[in-house]
Amino acid sequence: MKRIGVMTSGGDAPGMNAAVRAVVRRGESLGAEVYGITNGYKGLVEGEIHRLTSNDVGGILNRGGTMLFSARYPEFKEKEGQLKGVEQLKKHGIEGVVVIGGDGSFRGAQSLSNHGFPTIGVPGTIDNDIAGTDYTLGFDTTVNTVVEALDRVRDTAGSHGRVLVVEVMGRDAGDIAIWSGLSSGAEAIVIPEKPFDINVIVKNLRDGFAAGKNQGLIVLAEGVMPAAELVRQVQEIDDSFNIREVVLGHIQRGGQPTARDRVLGSLFGARAVELLTEGKTGLCVAVVDEQIATNTFDDIFNKLKHVPRLHLHELNEFLI
């Protein structure tokens, strides 16, 4: 394989640049030219494709975001858009492509593979919601960013005797909430994967203040409900709490990737290139028990299921 393409798609995640760098440098070490596709599938269809060399990816290892940019492009769900993408790849002489992104990005990658174009996926999403891998690129950095924010709001909550409901990202996955909530000693962690009882949460808050606590922290995954709604539910039962909502928003996406995400991105990117040069397609790289592994796109979408570490959620309930 003489020419390989690389693109980032969907929401940006810390560690994507590390993966791009690894694709370029591992590709060159195997004798391949690497071409960057900017702005995701939109850029692919519009032919935004340019050569990348080792010099181009120097100094990006420690940068958050993605040097290749990203864009939403729902048109790629249709066959017409997919075939336009394949046409552009062939026009530029590209023989295989590495797609770095989450669920939607992988569905696009699977479509390319189904059209006969060699494609390998790299799981890059802060939500950690890709089946078949223990961790995705960006998750570790995001959890550390959220924990730092939770530690800060703890300070102000304690100063005013407040309960704070902090809404974190994760859409339909509670991983960010679980890991950051446990790390921050939250009085409650509310996630999509496990039903919650608002009365139990209120009781725990009451008991905490009765025992001498001067603050309360609830970590809420955005996929359950908005933070303001959970505040309303608490107040409906007990309006004596001095309670506020905090929405961390897109601050969770940015910042320098942690060492773990830099290493993981490097491992993922290099292995993706190796798979292409081995003639493989329709696969996604993964990390399982600290070892780099692979899954097919079909397995990810139809056979495997992402399950958060619910035992960590249960542990937090014992430690309140």
CATH number of the domain that residue 86 is part of = 3.40.50.450
Instruction: Indicate if 9 and 98 belong to the same structural domain.
Output: yes
Q: Which helix (H) or strand (E) holds 168?
A: strand 163-168
Instruction: Indicate if 149 and 244 belong to the same structural domain.
Output: yes
Instruction: Indicate if 247 and 264 belong to the same structural domain.
Output: no
Question: 59 lies in which domain range?
Answer: 3-138+257-302
Percentage of the chain beyond pLDDT 90 is 98
* Mean local confidence (pLDDT), 247-274: 97
Residue 312 is assigned to a structural domain of this protein: no
Instruction: Render pLDDT for 299-309 as a digit per residue (tens, 0 to 9).
Output: 999 999 999 99
Instruction: Indicate if 75 and 16 belong to the same structural domain.
Output: yes
pLDDT of residue 35: 98
Instruction: Indicate if 219 and 76 belong to the same structural domain.
Output: no
Instruction: Indicate if 8 and 149 belong to the same structural domain.
Output: no
Residue 310 is assigned to a structural domain of this protein: no
pTM here is 0.96
Residue 315 is assigned to a structural domain of this protein: no
Residue 191 DSSP symbol? -
Share the mean pLDDT of the chain.
97
* Mean local confidence (pLDDT), 272-277: 98
Instruction: Indicate if 169 and 204 belong to the same structural domain.
Output: yes
* Mean local confidence (pLDDT), 196-202: 97
pLDDT of residue 31: 98
Alpha-carbon gap, residue 31 to 34, rounded angstroms: 10
The mean-pLDDT minimum among 71-75, 112-116, 196-200, 226-230 falls in 71-75
Residue 307 is assigned to a structural domain of this protein: no
Show the tokens assigned to 164.
């704070």
Residue 123 DSSP symbol? E
| Closest by Cα among 101, 133, 97, 122 to 112 | 97
Say whether pLDDT at 193 is over 90.
yes
Instruction: Indicate if 72 and 31 belong to the same structural domain.
Output: yes
Beta bridge partner(s), residue 5 = 35, 97
Instruction: Indicate if 133 and 8 belong to the same structural domain.
Output: yes
Instruction: Render pLDDT for 125-143 as a digit per residue (tens, 0 to 9).
Output: 999 999 999 999 999 999 9
Buried b (16+ CB within 10 A) or exposed e, 249-272: eeebbebebbeebbebbbbbbbbb
Instruction: Indicate if 150 and 105 belong to the same structural domain.
Output: no
* Mean local confidence (pLDDT), 69-90: 96
Strands 283-288 and 216-221, by their bridges, are: unpaired
pLDDT of residue 96: 98
Residue 313 is assigned to a structural domain of this protein: no
Which residues are known to be catalytic? Answer: 127
Instruction: Indicate if 88 and 130 belong to the same structural domain.
Output: yes
Beta bridge partner(s), residue 188 = 218
Q: CATH no. for residue 153?
A: 3.40.50.460
Give how many domains the chain has, as a whole number.
2
Predicted confidence band at 171 (pLDDT cuts at 50, 70, 90)? confident
Residue 234 is assigned to a structural domain of this protein: yes
**DSSP letter for each residue of 30-80:** TT-EEEEETTHHHHHHTT-EEEE-TTTTTT-TT--S-TT-----GGGGSHH
Residue 314 is assigned to a structural domain of this protein: no
The mean-pLDDT minimum among 41-45, 107-111, 155-159 falls in 155-159
Instruction: Render pLDDT for 278-320 as a digit per residue (tens, 0 to 9).
Output: 999 999 999 999 999 999 999 999 999 999 999 999 999 999 8
pLDDT of residue 19: 98
pLDDT of residue 295: 98
Is residue 146 within 8 A of residue 164, CB to CB? The reply is no
Cross-sheet strand order for the sheet of 188-190: 188-190, 216-221, 163-168, 243-247
Instruction: Indicate if 98 and 15 belong to the same structural domain.
Output: yes
Residue 78 is assigned to a structural domain of this protein: yes
pLDDT of residue 72: 86
Alpha-carbon gap, residue 302 to 90, rounded angstroms: 30
Instruction: Render pLDDT for 203-220 as a digit per residue (tens, 0 to 9).
Output: 999 999 999 999 999 999
Instruction: Render pLDDT for 226-254 as a digit per residue (tens, 0 to 9).
Output: 999 999 999 999 999 999 999 999 999 99
